[in-house]
Amino acid sequence: MERLIEQIREAFTANIGTKLVSLVVAIVLWVVVLGSRNVEVSKEVPLEVLTPPELVVANEMPERLTFRLSGPKAFLRSVLDRREEPIRVNLIGNKPGLVTYRFFSDHIRLPIGVRVLSVNPSSVLIKLEAVKKREVPVRVVTSGALQPGLTIKGIHAFPETVTIKGAESKVESLTEIESVPVNLGELSSSVEQELPLDLTRAGVQLEGSLPRVRIDVAGQGANFRIRNIEVRVQSSLRSKVEPAVVSALVHASPSDLKKLNPAKVYALVKAEGLERGKHSVTPSLVLPEGVTVVRVLPETVNLTLY
């Protein structure tokens, strides 16, 4: 026992000069810090609401609380640099309805010398509703304009409906769920891709996977003139036709026009059943698939059968 007392005495008396200096320095620093001019800062802390599985928050809630703090700058710096855990509002045992929850200064840990001036918001009104699921159609929303020369042939979402879940009032108010806008200006050809939905604005969640969208894009059709088209006569008799060539105005997309072979384009006069002599007839134009006739010039030709 005497040995133990001796060791304790030595622990306090050994290097007593150094220990006294350290103590004085610590006291001086503490007094300087506490006596320094206070400053004010704001500290944001995440907010989280805990609900039972069958209930959900039906109204808008702040994501963070803002604490206005006052104290020595050195102490405040450590608070600002510290990563805060969310302030959790525990409503696990609650039933559907309105709940008012208040926040106080003790919702945040602070060192001595730092105090809370205000909390914003100081309280929140929480509306709890039953969770509901419902199947609604998907509407594809687009933005921007297609590049020149392109046109949309079709836009299809599949599946056409999705299941959403959320607060009963919000789910009931939705007749469809919109997509995040698809930028048409970025398309140069047909595309199939995942279709994100605008769930945040609707205030609901998606049950299952995201739908997909198919956007069919094609070259925009235009009218083009084809000249010197041969007129052919379909008859068992000898024939003469004037003029021997015609022109035509046709409608085609740029891609179809590139594949157009003028040698395979002709005007046909069907003269079977006509008697010998002179006739004024309307030729019909033979064109590849994808190309349609707008007008043949001249519209009629003179046919002589021998």
The CATH number of whichever domain residue 253 belongs to comes to 2.170.120.30
Q: Is the pLDDT of residue 232 over 80?
A: yes
Residues 137 and 205 in one domain: yes
Residues 94 and 31 in one domain: no
Q: Is the pLDDT of residue 180 over 80?
A: yes
Residue 127 lies in a domain: no
Residues 146 and 202 in one domain: yes
- Of 200, 219, 238, which residue constitutes the final position of a domain? 219
Residue 285 lies in a domain: yes
pLDDT in tens, 95-141: 999 999 999 999 999 998 899 999 999 999 999 999 999 999 999 99
Residues 72 and 113 in one domain: yes
Q: How far, in Å, are 60, 146, 155, 194, 263 from residue 217 at the CA level?
A: 40, 9, 9, 17, 29
The pLDDT score that the predictor gives to residue 10 is 58
What's the mean per-residue pLDDT of the chain? 87
Mean pLDDT for 223-249 is 90
Mean pLDDT for 233-239 is 91
Q: Is the pLDDT of residue 263 over 90?
A: no
Residues 227 and 296 in one domain: yes
Q: Which domain holds residue 208?
A: 132-219
Q: Is the pLDDT of residue 85 over 90?
A: yes
Residue 293 lies in a domain: yes
Q: Please state the pTM of the whole predicted model.
A: 0.56
Residues 57 and 30 in one domain: no
Residues 214 and 137 in one domain: yes
- Of 203, 219, 235, which residue constitutes the final position of a domain? 219
Domain of residue 162, CATH code: 2.170.120.40
The pLDDT score that the predictor gives to residue 291 is 81
The pLDDT score that the predictor gives to residue 273 is 86
Residue 126 lies in a domain: no
How many structural domains does the chain have? Answer: 4
Side-chain half-sphere exposure of 278, counting CA atoms within 13 A = 4
Read off the pLDDT band of 15 (50, 70, 90).
low
Mean pLDDT for 79-105 is 94
| % the chain with pLDDT above 70 | 86
Domain of residue 82, CATH code: 2.170.120
Residue 3 lies in a domain: yes
The pLDDT score that the predictor gives to residue 147 is 77
Residues 88 and 156 in one domain: no
Residue 253 lies in a domain: yes
Residues 214 and 139 in one domain: yes
- Of 91, 121, 151, which residue constitutes the final position of a domain? 121
Residues 244 and 271 in one domain: yes
Cα–Cα distance between 159 and 210 in angstroms, integer?
9
The pLDDT score that the predictor gives to residue 4 is 53
The pLDDT score that the predictor gives to residue 9 is 57
Q: Is the pLDDT of residue 62 over 60?
A: yes
The pLDDT score that the predictor gives to residue 125 is 96
Residues 298 and 227 in one domain: yes
Stretch among 105-119, 132-146, 212-226, 281-295 having the lowest mean pLDDT: 212-226
Residue 77 lies in a domain: yes
Which residue has better confidence, 273 or 121? 121
Residues 99 and 140 in one domain: no
Q: What is the per-residue DSSP string for the chain?
A: -HHHHHHHHHHHHTTHHHHHHHHHHHHHHHHHHHHSPEEEEEEEEEEEEE--TTEEE-S---SEEEEEEEEEHHHHHHHHHSPPPPEEEE-TT--SEEEEEE--GGGS---TT-EEEEEESSEEEEEEEEEEEEEEEEE--EES-PPTTEEEEEEEEESSEEEEEEEHHHHHH-S-EEBPPEEGGG-SS-EEEE--B-HHHHT-EEES---EEEEEEEEPPEEEEEEEEEEEEE-SS-EEEESSEEEEEEEE-HHHHHT--GGG-EEEEE-TTPPSEEEEE--EEE--TT-EEEEEESS-EEEEE-
Q: Is the pLDDT of residue 290 over 90?
A: no
Residue 48 lies in a domain: yes
Q: Is the pLDDT of residue 300 over 80?
A: yes
